Amino acid sequence: MTNQPDLHERLRQARAREGLEIGPNGQKGLPTGPWGIGLRAGVEVVSALVVGIGIGWALDRWLGTWPWLFLVFFVMGSVAGVLNVYRLFNPRRRSRVT
Amino acid sequence: MAKEGKTIDALSQFELTPFLGFFGQSIGFSQSNAFMLLALGLTTGFILMAAARGAMVPGRLQSLGEASYEFIHGMVTEQIGDEGKKYFPFVFAIFMFVLFGNLLGLLPYAFTFTSHIAVTLTLAVIVFVTVTVIALMRHGMHFFSYFFPEGAPVWLAPIIIPVEVISYFSRVVSLSVRLFANMVAGHVMLKVFATFVVLLGSLGAVGPFVAVLPLSVNIALVGFEFLVAFLQAYVFAILTSIYLHDAVHLH
């Protein structure tokens, strides 16, 4: 009579075909062992820190404001690192998908 | 101890030397570049030979070529969706280049060009720039909304935007460092345990028996390194597709 479940199933399939469906455990297909996740999280934190420190250091050299921007971007880099790890487990939810 | 060849020298395997003596020196062409060209040639030859016959019942080489094609094709369509098919050549080229670089490095006397941060960083920058250009072309100025999630309080913008920008740029570093660190660590371990075999083996009568231990470790390591070689090429390719997914769907 009603094809409600059918519709949901077809919707899900269509979203999966467009690559909009993301599995329950985050980004699909990546290694999920404890070592894989741990190493990935470490690399994400360190790389965000490196980028933050790099930007802060370069801006300080350019503007001659050592060490203030360095400190600010060091904190920003740490926050970005935490954000990266958070995204590792909870990828961006799409609010705007049409 | 001071004698040559009796010390653990795990890092000299990463040194660049000019290829073919004077020829390489005069144009700055190292053995690393030579192995990149070799990887390129092997990939091209492999695909051309795999595609040459086009038999209905594939032979060994053809089914290997089809397997690698379908592997990346499946990855791209699963991650990006149907639109991802046009980015398949890009992901496939990156994957094959990294895979052949990793695998060639496991052959004796070969050089692993993916163990140099300069190479992996260049690959990561290529991916990053391509992804960003694709996102800008598809979404125009709307792309910058990526750095400020909808619904966040506006007064938080001075914090959120720099953090998101840093997080976006950190992709380059994490993508390159992951591959580089894995390859360097693996090859250093192989070299260290191989040196143990030699050092212990020359310790008189009991030496060779003790040397069996690091030798067996090394055998296990070689197998592990083959796994890492595949896995890192796979991770590099799948992260490229995930970034492409973000660029196409923008969120």
The interface pTM score, or ipTM, of the predicted complex is: 0.81
Look at A48 and B249 and tell me if their CB atoms are within 8 Å: no
Separation between Cα atoms, residue B84 and residue B75, nearest integer Å: 10
For the stretch A42-94, pLDDT in tens is 999 999 999 999 999 999 999 998 889 999 999 999 999 999 999 888 776 55
Contact present, B63 and B224 (Cβ < 8 Å): no
Tell me if the pTM is above 0.90: no
Per-residue buried b or exposed e for B217-228, using 16+ beta carbons within 10 Å of the residue's own CB: bbeebeeebeeb
**Phi and psi torsions of A46, nearest 5°:** -65, -40
Separation between Cα atoms, residue B24 and residue B46, nearest integer Å: 27
Does residue B4 carry a pLDDT above 60? no
The closest of B157, B163, B148 to A79, measured between CA atoms, is B163
Strand partners, B18: B30
Does residue B73 carry a pLDDT above 70? yes
Separation between Cα atoms, residue B232 and residue A48, nearest integer Å: 20
Write out chain B residues lying below 8 Å of A18, CB-based.
81-83, 249
Mean of per-residue pLDDT scores for chain B? 90
What pLDDT score does A25 carry?
39
Mean pLDDT of B189-194: 92
Best A12, A13, A15, A18 residue to mutate vs chain B (most B CBs within 10 Å)? A18
Token couple for A1: 């009579």
Give the pLDDT band of residue A96 (cuts 50, 70, 90).
Answer: very low
The closest of B146, B173, B160 to A83, measured between CA atoms, is B160
What pLDDT score does B249 carry?
86
What pLDDT score does B179 carry?
94
Mean pLDDT of B23-47: 90
> Residue A8: CB partners within 8 Å, gap ≥ 6?
none
More confident residue, B201 or A32: B201
Look at B170 and A80 and tell me if their CB atoms are within 8 Å: yes
For the stretch B119-175, pLDDT in tens is 999 999 999 999 999 999 999 988 988 888 888 888 988 899 999 999 999 999 999
A37-51, B6-20, B70-84, B119-133: segment of lowest average pLDDT: B6-20
Look at A80 and B163 and tell me if their CB atoms are within 8 Å: yes
What pLDDT score does B27 carry?
85
Token couple for B18: 């000019």
Does residue B208 carry a pLDDT above 70? yes
The closest of A95, A98, A52 to B146, measured between CA atoms, is A95
CA B247 distance to own-chain centroid: 22
Contact present, B106 and B157 (Cβ < 8 Å): no
